């Protein structure tokens, strides 16, 4: 498309053309109306003058007869810019006046008429037009009084040329304005299009140019920029996640590959091959676990796991997880204990169990025994707690390990984040993010608190809707608060 073609296709230019047409029409109408009114006014003025003179001349005739009339006419005809006067006899013979010639038949017609004439003192053949009134004078005479129309014509000509000129000016200015506006808009749109193309080509950090006028295009650009900002944030989040996935999946994949390669290159006998293959399988199992955890988080986050929600007591889950992990904890010299009160929840039992299991595994992994504090009266190293706080169910796992500094707590929930201190520990680093996703799925959230010392992770979710009613009753009787906590402790 040529530049001109682009220009005349712009909305601004088309709008300008439409307005131009309307304005020209309006100007023409206005001037036409003005011209017509001027003409009418001039004609009225002439009519009045002519009527007045006719009356005066009639009076002169009544007073001084034909002589008086002729005298008055001769007198008036001598004045500069005089009107036209003519008195004729019954035979049409001119008796007095300043009119040399007239269009034929004018004197035969009484009343108003427009005619071509020539003055007596004029030689040239240029005719003028005049508005004349012919009236009867007693004694068979006819009196013509008229006024030249040159003035009226000139006025009309002035108006007409003004009209032409102004329409021309409107058209020229309008076109120029249209081109100017269209080019301005076009330039800005072109700039935006260019930016958009660069963004599409992959440079997400580009922003649309925003002018200072705050007009609709600027507002649009502003909004589009805000949208780009959001998209860029999402993209970088996505990139971060995929970078993390790449890291945490590629690292074991690299190890896996290296080991296989090494085995191929240097294994000497069957048992060495066997050992290498076994390690390979172990490594791929770890990969599968990481992958499953990721899928699980994705499902929990997208709300797909809402199908299998049932009502159950979270205390059972806490007791079950304690039962499963207690021997493992003890092997590491840790005491794992569960304290659980009646805690009705509506949710996915499997997912909540898994979240809790992850938290306990983390606690066992990262919360080494606090040997110094251990005495005969020492509490558990890791405690699982299920309790009810009003309309919330709190499931927490607390350890006495190094904890997480407050500044790092939010980051710790993010996927794959293993705080530097724990980089060397095995694991996918997805435990806290899974627990967080599960909490979100159940309409709750995950809190990390200082256990002084240690870390306390709490999954806070709403109490089961059906149990919410019975809760108030049991609170009245103090059942919830006073019921002794069931302790599961295995020596």
In this structure, is the dihedral angle defined by the CA atoms of residues 24, 26, 27 and 29, taken in order, positive or negative? positive
Complex with other proteins: residue 25 or 275, whichever CB lies closer = 275
- Among the listed ranges 4-12, 222-230, 316-324, 456-464, the one in contact with other proteins (CB under 8 A) is 316-324
Question: What's the DSSP call for residue 463?
Answer: P
Complex with other proteins: residue 285 or 445, whichever CB lies closer = 285
Site string for other proteins, 326-345 (x = CB under 8 A): -xx--x--------------
Q: How many helices (H) and strands (E) does the chain have?
A: 11, 14
**Least Å distance between CB 331 and other proteins?**
6
- Among the listed ranges 190-198, 215-223, 231-239, 285-293, the one in contact with other proteins (CB under 8 A) is 285-293
What are the distances in angstroms from CA 274 to CA 126, 257, 258, 281, 284?
129, 15, 15, 11, 15
Helix, strand, coil % over all residues of the chain, rounded to 5 = 60, 15, 25
Query: What are the strands of the beta sheet with 455-462, ordered from one edge?
Result: 445-450, 455-462, 392-398, 382-389, 336-340, 486-488
Q: Which of 320, 368, 402, 462 binds other proteins (CB under 8 A)?
A: 320
Say how many C-beta atoms besides its own lie within 10 A of residue 65's C-beta.
Answer: 12
Closest CA to 65 of 102, 95, 98: 95
Interface with other proteins, residue 85, by CB under 8 A:
no
Contact at 8 Å (CB) between 454 and 400?
yes
**Least Å distance between CB 351 and other proteins?**
7
Q: Which of 22, 295, 373, 466 binds other proteins (CB under 8 A)?
A: 295
- Residue count, binding to other proteins (CB under 8 A): 36
Contact at 8 Å (CB) between 180 and 172?
no
Q: Which of 289, 411, 475, 489 binds other proteins (CB under 8 A)?
A: 289
**Least Å distance between CB 416 and other proteins?**
14
Helical spans, DSSP H, in 201-313: 216-266, 270-302
What are the distances in angstroms from CA 287 to CA 238, 247, 252, 464?
21, 12, 7, 36
Contact at 8 Å (CB) between 256 and 280?
yes
- String of b and e for 199-221 (b: at least 16 CB within 10 Å)? beeeebebbbebeeeeeebbeeb
**Least Å distance between CB 295 and other proteins?**
7
**Least Å distance between CB 371 and other proteins?**
21
Q: Which of 304, 310, 311, 410 binds other proteins (CB under 8 A)?
A: 304
Q: Which of 312, 325, 366, 416 binds other proteins (CB under 8 A)?
A: 325
Contacts (CB under 8 A) with other proteins, residues 409-438: 426-428, 431
What is 55-81 written as a DSSP string?
Answer: HHHHHHHHHHHHHHHHHHHHHHHTSTT
Contacts (CB under 8 A) with other proteins, residues 346-365: 348, 350-351, 353-354, 357-358, 361, 364-365
Q: Which of 249, 324, 378, 480 binds other proteins (CB under 8 A)?
A: 324
**Least Å distance between CB 278 and other proteins?**
7
Complex with other proteins: residue 203 or 308, whichever CB lies closer = 308
Complex with other proteins: residue 112 or 291, whichever CB lies closer = 291
**Least Å distance between CB 316 and other proteins?**
11
DSSP reduced 3-state for 400: coil
- Among the listed ranges 55-63, 256-264, 302-310, 374-382, the one in contact with other proteins (CB under 8 A) is 302-310
**Least Å distance between CB 364 and other proteins?**
7
**Least Å distance between CB 272 and other proteins?**
16
Residues in the chain: 491
Contact set with other proteins (CB under 8 A): 278, 281, 284-285, 288-289, 292, 295-296, 299, 304-305, 307-308, 320, 323-325, 327-328, 331, 348, 350-351, 353-354, 357-358, 361, 364-365, 426-428, 431, 490
């Amino acid at each position: 498309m040529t530049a001109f073609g682009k220009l005349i296709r712009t909305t601004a230019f088309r709008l300008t053309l439409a307005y131009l047409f309307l304005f020209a029409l309006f100007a023409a109408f206005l001037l036409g109306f003005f011209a017509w009114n001027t003409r009418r006014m001039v004609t009225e003025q002439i009519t009045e003058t002519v009527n007045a003179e006719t009356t005066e001349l009639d009076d002169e005739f009544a007073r001084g007869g034909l002589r008086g009339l002729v005298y008055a006419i001769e007198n008036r005809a001598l004045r500069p810019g005089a009107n036209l006067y003519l008195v004729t006899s019954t035979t049409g013979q001119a008796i007095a006046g300043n009119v040399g010639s007239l269009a034929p038949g004018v004197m035969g017609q009484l009343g108003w008429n427009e005619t071509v004439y020539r003055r007596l003192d004029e030689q040239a053949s240029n005719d003028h037009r005049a508005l004349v009134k012919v009236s009867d004078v007693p004694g068979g005479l006819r009196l013509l009084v008229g006024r030249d129309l040159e003035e009226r014509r000139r006025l009309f000509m002035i108006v007409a040329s003004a009209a032409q000129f102004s329409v021309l000016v409107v058209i020229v200015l309008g076109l120029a304005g249209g081109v100017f506006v269209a080019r301005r808009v076009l330039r800005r749109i072109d700039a935006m299009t260019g930016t958009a193309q660069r963004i599409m080509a992959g440079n997400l950090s580009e922003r649309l140019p925003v002018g200072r006028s705050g007009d609709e295009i600027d507002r649009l650009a502003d909004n589009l920029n805000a949208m780009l900002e959001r998209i860029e944030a999402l993209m970088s989040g996505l990139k971060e996640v995929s970078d993390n996935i790449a890291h945490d999946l590629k690292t074991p994949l690299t190890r896996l590959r290296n080991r296989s390669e090494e085995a191929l290159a240097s294994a000497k006998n069957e048992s060495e091959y066997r050992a290498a293959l076994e390690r390979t399988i172990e490594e791929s199992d770890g990969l599968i676990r990481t992958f499953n955890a990721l899928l699980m988080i994705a499902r929990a986050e997208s709300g797909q796991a809402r199908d299998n929600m049932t009502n159950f007591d979270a205390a059972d889950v806490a007791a079950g997880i304690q039962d499963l992990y207690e021997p493992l904890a003890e092997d590491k010299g840790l005491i794992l204990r569960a304290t659980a009160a009646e805690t009705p929840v509506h949710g996915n039992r499997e997912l909540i169990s898994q979240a809790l299991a992850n938290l306990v595994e983390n606690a066992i992994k990262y919360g080494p025994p606090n040997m110094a504090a251990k005495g005969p009266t020492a509490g558990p190293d890791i405690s699982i707690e299920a309790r009810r706080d009003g309309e919330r169910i709190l499931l927490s796992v607390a350890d006495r390990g190094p904890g997480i500094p407050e500044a790092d707590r939010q980051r710790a929930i993010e996927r794959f984040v293993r705080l530097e201190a724990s980089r060397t520990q095995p694991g996918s680093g997805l435990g806290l993010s899974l627990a967080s996703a599960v909490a979100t799925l159940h309409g709750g959230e995950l809190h990390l608190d200082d256990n002084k010392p240690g870390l306390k992770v709490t999954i806070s979710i709403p109490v089961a809707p059906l149990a919410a009613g019975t809760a108030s009753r049991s609170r009245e009787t103090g059942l919830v608060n006073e019921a002794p906590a069931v302790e599961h402790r295995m020596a």
